[in-house]
């Protein structure tokens, strides 16, 4: 495991142009806002390996938020409009729950579309997660997501099917959490020049990239999830069924619980279908320790983000060297035009 390194908040850098500046556009629902912040801080801290990293927080306007969620955003996040006149070394854009059949019908779509266009000119590399990945390939190449018969939820074994520096040093196979209602057709991705690096027989393309002016990285899964994240989502989805907000009982996350726990949840489902009463949630475990969840994807995720930060460092150093060389050449040109003495 990589050593834990604190993310720098000041301007101490590893080269002459200051720390890496990473933007996190956190669009997760209110219940996952702080856990998403915490997890990305942890991943980037561990992955930084001594490099100074400055993390800036943003969120898309138009997302449904409670008053508590809006207050948290107002206190701790910058306004998205601050982005348009700046430059970031790296950008991470999370997904969110879909509320419309088509992405362009989401209330936040105009801002998200602008962000997708902006990132190509103002970052070295961007990581698009889940729904944000679906939005980016739609905006850039017209690739439409397709609806799944039911929510894809669980931890799925993914295998390397391509080579790229971003996955160097990761295992040939590792398990990744997924939680989504849509998928992207692999043949459409390949036809538009996307390189699939990691895929699952059950979950499809997990990680894929495209190189243009900058490096775009797309993840349909959630390597950043905390161990209990799927458990919290499953409880939320069951509550929505029990209160009548949703008509269908949610599928149990696959490959996530042990046999004993899975049977307990199957029994809860049988009871809920027979008696749709919210008090049934009193029997639902809320702590990771109650069912012994394992964070088996943490170390590969750390390596993935360490590779990404290394990529940003390399390109920022190259950019800084070019600027120095241009400045030196300009100075030499000015000196050559001065009249000689004597």
Residue numbers annotated as active site? 130, 222, 224
What phi and psi, each to the nearest 5 degrees, are found at residue 251? -70, 145
Taking the CB of residue 69, how many other CB atoms lie within 10 A of it?
18
How many Cβ atoms from other residues are within 10 Å of residue 297's Cβ?
21
> Residue 142 phi/psi, 5° resolution?
70, 20
Q: Residues 281, 297: contact at Cβ < 8 Å?
A: no
Nearest to 73 by CA among 88, 81, 61: 61
CA distance 230 to 181: 14
- Whether the CB-CB separation of 220 and 184 falls below 8 Å is answered with yes
Compute, in degrees rounded to 10, the torsion defined by CA atoms 218, 221, 223, 226.
Answer: 140
For residue 157 the two structure tokens come to 């074994």
Residue 205: left (phi > 0), alpha (psi -120 to 50), or beta?
A: beta
DSSP 104-121: GGSTTHHHHHHHHHHHHH
* Residue 217: both structure tokens together: 């990285």
Evaluate the CA torsion angle 26, 29, 34, 36 in order and state its sign: negative
């Amino acid at each position: 495991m990589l050593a834990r390194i604190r993310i720098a908040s000041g301007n101490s850098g590893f080269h002459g142009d200051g720390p890496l500046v990473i933007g996190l556009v956190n669009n997760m629902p209110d219940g996952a806002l702080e856990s998403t912040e915490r997890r990305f801080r942890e991943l980037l801290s561990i992955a930084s390996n001594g490099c100074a990293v400055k993390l800036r927080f943003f969120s898309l306007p138009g997302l449904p938020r409670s008053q508590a969620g809006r207050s948290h955003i107002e206190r701790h996040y910058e306004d998205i409009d601050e982005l348009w006149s700046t430059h970031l070394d790296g950008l991470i854009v999370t997904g969110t729950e879909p509320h419309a059949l088509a992405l362009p019908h989401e209330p936040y779509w105009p801002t998200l579309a602008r962000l997708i266009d902006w990132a190509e000119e103002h970052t070295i590399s961007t990581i698009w997660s889940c729904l944000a990945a679906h939005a980016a390939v739609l905006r850039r190449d017209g690739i439409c997501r397709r609806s799944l018969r039911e929510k894809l939820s669980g931890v799925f074994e993914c295998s390397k099917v391509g080579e790229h520096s971003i996955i160097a040093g990761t295992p040939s196979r590792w398990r990744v959490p997924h939680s989504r209602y849509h998928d992207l057709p692999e043949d459409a991705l390949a036809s538009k020049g996307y390189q699939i690096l990691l895929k699952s027989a059950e979950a499809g393309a997990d990680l894929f990239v495209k190189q243009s002016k900058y490096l775009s990285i797309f993840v349909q899964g959630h390597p950043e999830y905390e161990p209990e994240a799927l458990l919290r989502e499953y409880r939320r989805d069951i509550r929505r069924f029990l209160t009548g907000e949703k008509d269908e009982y949610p599928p149990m996350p696959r490959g996530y619980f042990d046999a004993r726990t899975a049977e307990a949840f199957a029994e809860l489902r049988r009871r809920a279908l027979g008696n749709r009463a919210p008090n049934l949630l009193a029997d639902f475990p809320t702590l990771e320790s109650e069912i012994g969840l394992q964070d088996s994807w943490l170390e590969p995720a750390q390596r993935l983000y360490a590779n990404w930060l290394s990529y940003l460092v390399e390109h920022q150093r190259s950019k800084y060297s070019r600027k120095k060389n241009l400045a030196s050449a300009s100075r030499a040109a000015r000196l050559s035009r001065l009249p000689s003495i004597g």
